[in-house]
Each structure stands twice: as structure tokens, then as C-alpha cells.
Amino acid sequence: MEDSEPLAVPERQTVSSGTAWEAKYGYTRAVRVGRHVHVSGTTATDSRGEIVGEGDAHEQAQHIFTIITEALQKLGSSLTDVVRTRTYVVDILANGDKVGKAHGEVFKDIRPAATMVEVSGLIAPGLLVEIEVDATLP
């Protein structure tokens, strides 16, 4: 058996949202390890923690994709690298199509694997959708 060099451990990079929730619950907005980027469940809140688009699932989803885009860019990635999305929707009958439309606006040419499920509620009242994505860099 030949001696071989130890496997290199991929560098871990993170991007923080800056919210108190990260420290309190022990997570970060996004993590990149090697070629893989994972963006945590993201909701439609602004830098003060206020809900953006209250009562409007389409507007909330659009805002979420803006946040996700920024996180991906900070880790050297982009929406074109996204291979999977997971979407959690409060009241899928009322909001699923609105959220799906926003997803389609962003990913119509990228076409990642996608899941949308209904949940009974999210971290704060007024939030209608939460989205997470996984990306793989070329």
C-alpha cells in the first residue's frame, strides 16, 4: 500500500443575515463548502426584521429571491448555479400559485429540482413563504 497525502478539507465560508435569530438558533444565512452552497430557509424580512410584502405571497417570494441572490453572490455563486429549491407556504391553496409564479420568474430558464409544501405557520405571524436553495458551482 502506498503512502498518500491526506485529503484536503474544503474551506468553509459563511454569510450572515445579521439577524438575532442566527445567534439565538445557531445557524447562518448561507454556507459554502467547496463547490456546494446551501442557503438557509429565508423569509421576507428587511434589515430591521420587519416583514416585507405583508399579506402578499408573491411580493414576499420576490423579496426572498433578492436576499438569496445576494447571499449566493457573496459566496461566489449565482442563481444559475441553483440545483434545488424548497419552498414552504402557509395556505398553499391561496398562496401556492403566487409563490410559484415568483419562482418561475426567477428560474424559468434554470429549472432546478423544486419542492413546495404547505406548512401551518412560519417563524412569525404575517410570513407566508420561506424558501431555501442549494447550489453547485461548476
Quick count: other Cβ atoms within 10 Å of Cβ 116? 17
Angle at 76 between CA 37 and CA 18, to 5 degrees: 70
CA–CA separation, 37 vs 118, rounded Å?
25
pLDDT at 1 over 60: no
pLDDT band at residue 10 using 50, 70 and 90 as cut-offs: confident
Average pLDDT of the chain is 94
